[in-house]
């Protein structure tokens, strides 16, 4: 049996299109044989709120023109409707908290509004020249290796600065946008120590690492670094933004994670463990 898909977006995430559908994603999960699905909707912010912890200088937040607040009440009502409609599928509520170490107060305010079963921590933006800017935009004017190393440095601060999340999402998010035409293939091995440093901190916190199948798939070597640095659990996530992507490439992902030393957990809903 395939593992649960612990990272899915529906029409309640601000960056999904007209094909996004919570009901459709549930139907797809049943079709491909997933035991559970978690709707981890984007929670991002365009301004600094009460009890947030902005970096030094309170940088300007840029490249977030499309970001909208999560409709928590509508989202949770939709979760309940889908649970009634798909009783054989375990459906988890959740959020993907963007930069939770910076937006601690804002994230906490969202979490107080309802019960969320799964919280992912993610990093999409880092500070550059007094601005909090999306990492993919930075490739346009900075060397690729500098962008990636700054990202890993900020991810370490995210892990050490926030305890609100259970799973670290897409740890090598900049890899999706690596400027291959300009700089060649993504040099994963060049960043081994950066990966390992992040993995050691995450392992010490007792949290899970996500194997994200929307990014270029992680290598066995990368997952092995997680294993060797003490990582205890792996969560599978498609990062689907439309129903057809739910559970995508999970067969291959399972092979990669198993080759790195992890095995299915206590039951079909559990993370994979060492």
Are the beta carbons of 35 and 270 closer than 8 angstroms? no
Percent of the chain with pLDDT over 70: 100
pLDDT score of 37: 98
How far apart are the C-alpha atoms of 45 and 231, rounded to whole Å? 30
pLDDT score of 198: 98
Residues 259-268 pLDDT 10s: 999 999 999 9
CATH number of 5-273: 3.20.20.140
pLDDT score of 1: 84
The burial of 94, by beta-carbon neighbours within 10 Å (0-12 exposed, 13-18 middle, 19 or more buried), is given as buried
Residues 169-220 pLDDT 10s: 999 999 999 999 999 999 999 999 999 999 999 999 999 999 999 989 999 9
How far apart are the C-alpha atoms of 112 and 118, rounded to whole Å? 14
Residues 210-240 pLDDT 10s: 999 998 999 999 999 999 999 999 999 999 9
Indicate whether 138 pLDDT > 90: yes
Indicate whether 17 pLDDT > 90: yes
107-125 as b/e: b if 16+ CB within 10 A: bbbbeeeeebbbbbbbbbb
Strand residues in 44-189 grouped as ranges (E): 60-61, 90-98, 118-122, 125-128, 131-134, 167-168
Confidence of residue 148 (pLDDT cuts 50, 70, 90): very high
pLDDT score of 215: 83
């Amino acid at each position: 049996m395939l593992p649960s898909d612990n990272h899915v977006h529906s029409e309640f995430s601000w960056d999904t299109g007209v094909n996004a559908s919570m009901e459709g994603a549930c139907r797809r999960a049943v079709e491909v044989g997933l035991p559970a699905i978690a709707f981890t909707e984007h929670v991002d912010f365009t301004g600094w709120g009460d009890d947030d912890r902005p970096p030094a200088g309170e940088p300007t937040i840029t490249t977030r023109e499309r970001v909208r607040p999560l409709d928590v009440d509508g989202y949770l009502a939709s979760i309940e409707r889908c649970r009634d409609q798909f009783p054989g599928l375990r459906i988890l509520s959740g959020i993907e908290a963007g930069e939770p170490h910076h937006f601690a107060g804002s994230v906490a305010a969202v979490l107080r509004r309802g019960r969320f079963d799964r919280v992912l921590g993610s990093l999409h933006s880092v500070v550059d020249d007094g601005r909090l800017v999306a990492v993919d935009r930075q490739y346009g004017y900075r060397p690729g290796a500098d962008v990636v190393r700054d990202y890993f440095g900020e991810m370490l601060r995210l892990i050490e600065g926030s305890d609100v999340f259970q799973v670290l999402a897409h740890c090598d998010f900049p890899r999706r946008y690596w400027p291959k035409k300009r700089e060649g293939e993504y040099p994963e091995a060049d960043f081994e120590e950066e990966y390992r440093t992040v993995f050691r901190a995450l392992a010490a916190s007792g949290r899970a690492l996500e194997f994200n199948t929307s990014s270029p798939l992680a290598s066995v070597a990368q997952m092995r670094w997680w294993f060797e640095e003490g990582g205890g659990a792996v969560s599978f996530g498609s990062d689907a933004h439309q129903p057809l992507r739910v559970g995508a490439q999970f067969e291959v992902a399972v092979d990669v994670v198993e080759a790195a030393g992890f095995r299915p957990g206590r039951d079909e809903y559990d993370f994979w463990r060492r």
